[in-house]
Every structure is written in C-alpha cells, then in structure tokens.
Structure 1
Amino acid sequence: MKLKFLILLSCLFSVQAADKPNILLILSDDQAWNDYSFMGHEQIKTPHLDKLASESVVFKRAYVPTALCRPSLMTFATGQYVHIHGITGNDPFGDSANPNNPDLKESLISKIDKLDTLAELLGEQGYLSHQSGKWWEGNYKRGGFTHGMTRGYPQKGGRHGDDGLKIGREGNKAVTDFVDMAIEKDKPFFLWYAPFMPHTPHTPPERILKKYQKYNLSESVAKYYAMCEWFDEACGDLIQHLEDKKVRDNTLIVYVCDNGWIQNPKRGGYAPRSKQTPYEGGTRTPIMFSWPNKLKPQDRPELSTSLDIFPTIVSAAGARMPKNLPGLDLNSYMINKKPIPRDHIFGESFAHDIVDISDSEKTLLFRWVIKGNYKLLLTYDGKVGRYKSTHPRTEKRPQLFDLSNDPAEKVNLAKDHPEKVAQLAKMLNDWYPVKTRKVITEFK
C-alpha cells in the first residue's frame, strides 16, 4: 500500500512539473533595437534570433523603462520601476553616505531584499533556477536563485557578474549542465541567461569579424556587428540544447535587451542618443515570447514595456503575484490574440552614479512618456556624480517627437504643440509626481 502511494505521489509531482513551463529569460547587453536581421538590419546576421522571432509573439515597438544596465536588470528581477526598487544607477558615489550602513555597496544591494524577485516567486512553485551573465546584486542566492555563477560583492572582483560573465563568451556548459540536472530531477527550471554580449570589450572571433570587415565599416563598428552575431550564436546554442533535450515545447523563452547601444564609429564607446538616454537608441528593444505549447507566432503592433515580462512569467508559472505591479500579464492577450488595452508607457533616466542611496530623485535626469505616436521627454536637474563630461543631458528643453514620421527623433515639435506637451506632462506627473527636482520648461 505504501509503495502504491509513493508511486501515485511521484506521478503527481511529474504532472506538476509538466504543467509548469520551464522559463528561459535571454537578456542581451548593450544592443540597438534594430541591430538584428529580423528587425531589418541589412548587414548584421542573427539567424538564431530570427528563427526565435518566427516562433514568437514579437513586440517590435517595445521599450525598457530605463537605459542603464543595473537599474534595467533590476526591473526584470522585481517587475518594478527604478524609482520604486531604488537602484537608480550602477554604482554609489563617494559622498552618498548612509548613516545606517557605511558600506555603500552593500547598502545598495540590500534594496533587493525588500522586494519579491522572479527567482524567489518561481522557487515557491518548486522551480530550480540558475543565474548566469550580468548580475549586480551580490551573490546569486541574494536574488533567490538556487544555482548560479556570480560570487558577488563583497567577494574579490564581485561586481556586475564576475564569474558569470564567462557565459556565452566561453560557451554555455554551466547552463546546459544545470538544465540536464533539472531534467534528471524532474523539476521545472528558470534560466537567467544574461551574457556579457555584445557589450564591450568587443572581442569577437576572427572568423566572425572577417564577415564584417568586407563592408566599408570602421574597425569599431565591424567589431560591434560581429559581437551581435557572436551573441546570436550563443543564444542558438542554448536553444538547441533545449531542443535536443526535448523540453523546448514546454519552455517559455522571453527575449529582451537591457538597454540600447549605437556604436561610435571612431572608437570603442557608444554614440550620443543611445545608452543612458531616453531616446529610441537607448530605450527601445524588441521583446519576444515563445512558448510552442501555448503561443502561436504573431507580430503585435501595440506598445510594450519590459515591465510586462515579470507578471507574464509569474502568471505562466502559476506563482504568487505581488501587488501593485506596473506591468501587464500578457498571457491571455497573446493566447487569445486580443488587443492590449493600453495606449501609453512611461520611462525614467537617472545618472550612472548614485549620489544619495536614500533619495533616488537626486540623480533624476529624464522622464518620458509615449502615447500613441507622440513621445515627450522632460529634462531634470539631477546630479551626475563622476561623469560630468559624459552625461546625456545635451538638450534641456522639453522634447516632443512624432515617432510615426520621425523615428530618428530629429525634429522637436514641443514649441509648436504646447497643448500636447501639457497633456503628456500631466500624464507624467499623475504617474509619478517628482518632489525635489526641477524640470526645465522654458524655450530660449
């Protein structure tokens, strides 16, 4: 009798594992929204991501709410805007004293302890989880992962991923070994797959770089393009492993980039209006959801935000949904091909350095809203820490763009459409009233 009970119990757990999708969250690092073949780039080749797009619900008009890696990654991990989760920049600045904790780096990391994370919520449902690639918030266990690669602060070199940054650039063995282990244990799994790619250093294999050297490109651009293809290869390798292990059909693959990047043609850095800025080159990214068992491929025209990823994954896994999430659970809209009842999204930009850990507004540089085809950018007088010569506030007046006719954001319409500026500015203030920073509203 006891043996029969154990067999029945084992079957129940197997059914539970089969019912819950595996989750693969692919995070690109510093890549422009149109730097993929499926997004129309004429030179960059991304055959594996093209194939994924053909099997996905694709939001080509999608955005991250902030254009800097650490705060952006925290929006994926917690589902919250930057001004809510509080990690507004990559590093604390020297004068941002915290009387409750003189260790500024630890004080900043501790903000993750106050919010539910994706890995924690999936863990409650029996998921095993693995962190690889970029991760800033201490050891992987701090984020709720059961397994991972990042040792994290205060370990030596424990900043932004440390050992995890090998993933993709040095193969995927750590992740594929984890997948094999989870399958053997009959457990659903969650992969945080965030290769340090195509991020600098741009060191692509010579075999890929040669493909782009034949074009009339500067060396820095050719290397960046080759990095995009190398990243595509890494993604393809991991997805193929899921196919080989016959778990692809019940795996929800979500793809997004942490922030944009426009390669400076003269050197290794990024050009203006890309990373750290609220322009399309900084905040726009394709977002894809692929789940063969549940979702039919489709191109979606609606605006989407990466804040939708958290509730969509939580819902798909049947996990506990935190209250007051700003994003939408997209599952029913994608499964039933229903229109998404939303015509606007918001975003915000803060300085790279955090000058006051307890007051996020001190480094506020921009807020923005897109409603329909109009986009409003407002500039604020936040402090910029060390990077005074490279901060992105090149234009301080309100900026209004018609993205349908001016996707490159070259023509500022704000002066000619004050009523539209006022309407969109009110939406921003209703969303998140700024208390301590000033916005420049005068045209000079």
Structure 2
Amino acid sequence: MKRATRHAEGAERPWMDVRDLWTEALAGVMARPVRSALTTLGTVLGITTLVITIGVATTAGNQIVGRFDALTATSVTVTVPQTPPGLDDTGPLVDWSGTDAVQRLAGVDSTAALADSPAFTSVQVRSSNVNVPGGTSAQTLAVVAASADLPAAVRGAMTVGRFYDAGDIARRDQVAVLGDQAARLLGIHRVEDAPAVFFNGQSYTVVGILGGIERERQLSTAVLLPPTTAADRLGLEDVTRVLVNTALGAARQVARQAPIALAPGHEDALTVVAPPDLSKARDGVQNDVNGLFLVLGLVSLVVGAIGIANVTLVTVMERVGEIGLRRALGASRRQVAAQFLLESTTIGLLGGVIGASLGIATVVSVAVAKDWTPVLDLRLSLGAPLAGALVGLLAGLYPSLRAARLEPVDALRAPS
C-alpha cells in the first residue's frame, strides 16, 4: 500500500507502511529459498544449542541437587564430648538408651549411637590367632561400639548373617559385625562356620557382614562391637556420636530438639551438625552449571549471527541493481535499510522459532531417556525466538546501512 507525504519543497514521495515492508522482506527471503534456508540454519543451530545446553543443565542440576537432598539433607549428627564439663562425677552425658528419646521426635526415621576412641582407630586385627605361612596377615582396622539399630542409621544392609541384637547386648556376648571392606581384607565371606577375629589378645565371633553403607562410610573398614562387650573388653563405654536420619525437611527442627532429648539441661555441651540450607546450594549449583553452558550456547549464537551478516551482505551486493531501481522510483534510504533489516530479522526469527522447538524437544527426549523430570524455563522458551530475531536484527545492521548508502545512479550503473 502506497501513500504520499509532502516534503517542505512541495514534492511528493511514496511512503511504504509496515505491512508493505514486511511483504517486501518476505518476498526477498523467499526469492532465494535455498540460501535463506542455509542462512536460517546457522541461527537454528545457535538457538537449539542455547536451549539444549541451558535446558539439560537445569534438568541435570535439579537431578543432582535432588539426590543431594535425599542423601544429605536428612542427616543429623550429634557429637558428645568425652569429658563433659561439670559432669565428671555424675556419669556419662548421653546414655546408650538416649536414642530412644530422639526416636520419638517428629520427623525422625532412625537413630544409632556410636562409641569410638583414637586408641582404637588403628587396631591390628587377624582372622586367625595362629600365624600360618601364606595365611591372611593382620589388617589395621578401626574398632567401634555401636547400638543395635546401626544398619538403618547408616543406610546399610546385612549382606551376610545378622547384626547383633538386644539379646547379644544384654548377655554381653563376645560377638562382632564386620564392615564389608573389613571382611574382604580379612578374607571372611561366610559366617555359617562361626569365624572369629582376634585383636588385643581376645577373640570375637563374627555373626554378620554389614554392606551398602551410605552414611559414615568409614565404618565399612571397621569392626563393630555391642556396647556392653566393648565396655567390658576394651573400655569403650561412653557414647561419642549419635546418628539421626530424618524425613526430608525435618532435619533442622530435629537438630534443635535432639540435644534436649539426649541430655536435658546440658544440651549446650553437645555439638550438632545439621544440613545446610539447600535452597542456596541448589541455586548455586544450577547457576554455575547454567553459566558454563550459557557461554557455549552464546558462542554458537554468535556463529549464526556472523552467517546471517555475511549472507545479507552478499545479498545486498547481488541486488545493487534492484536497490538502484527502488531509489530511482522514489524509495528513501530509510526504506531501503528497513527492507534489508526486516529480511535479516525475519531469518533470525524463523531460526529462533525452529531452534527453540528443536531444543525443547531434545531436552524432553533426554529427560525421558534418563528417567528425569524435565525442567524448562518458560522465559527461555518464549525468549529464544525473540533472541533469534534480535540476532538477525543486529546481524543485518551493517548490510542494511550499506544498502541505504548506495546512490541511485551508481547502483543502476553497477553490473547485475
């Protein structure tokens, strides 16, 4: 649609509205479909890479943090000093039965008490009391006293035999449970024949092997004894640590209540290690991962922009005659620049739409293949086409200005 505007000199010049500009721009793009498709491909690859990298990074970061939540955000550890200040003559600060009070707290899944000492972190343990040439030599292992509910507290499971129970503790049986790595080092794989381990001049019958330990993994290389047996034979009497597993979201509340339940009136003497605020950790992980992949996506996008600029410039040089004819028929420099600018913007917009669609489809496919929950930022999905259009706009600035500077006479004289 052509309209006329009157200049100060009284001459009329045809004026092209926005719809006409879009029509001319689309005609210019469709006039060379193969070249336009190849040019759009650069933007498609850039936008697709951008969406995929950010989408997959966000999804993977959410999965990593989710696992971090499950394994770490539910663990509370209470450390008990060996010599409680002001309580030397009144007995231990935390009794072995104190975990029962913690177990009754809301949100607590499992608890266990441990007693260890620097004197028993490196004990020479043998699976035979007789030195046999070629036999299993002594292994340096830790010896720890633990309550009967330890397997659940360390998220482990008995791979062989059983864990000692309340009856073993009450009878003060001279039994032991080995961590799976300790059992491997000692060459013990079965307990049907009642194998024994020997250290400090005493023997202990192995009744089970504890494996799959996810928390306090150093216990996989330890010898675990009932509290009463450890107190009688080794002097390991006082609880030094209490392990607490909570429901997700209850850890911080349990961390405040557990010392009171374990040592009423002396809770300040206990040290509690609670999970940090994972909302900040989640943001930090995702921001770091997103920042890394954002740079890679932007590099791809810049490559696409250079392709658009190069092809648009070549198009301007090929259409010098057309530009001269338009100028001769009354088109202004602004109109010529706007036409080529809209052509490059249209190419960028098409590339953004196609790239965003391919990127979203890829992110969802990866999430399905990995059995993850896809996480897509709506702002990224909607902003990708606009980013493509912006790339096309910026890439077409120089070619458009060059086309606008061509004089009609010079353009018409140029070879076509």
**Which structure is richer in relative contact order (CA contacts within 8 A, separation 6 or more)?**
2
Q: TM-score, normalised by structure 1?
A: 0.19
Which of the two has greater helix per residue? 2
Q: TM-score, normalised by structure 2?
A: 0.19
**Structure number, greater radius of gyration:** 2
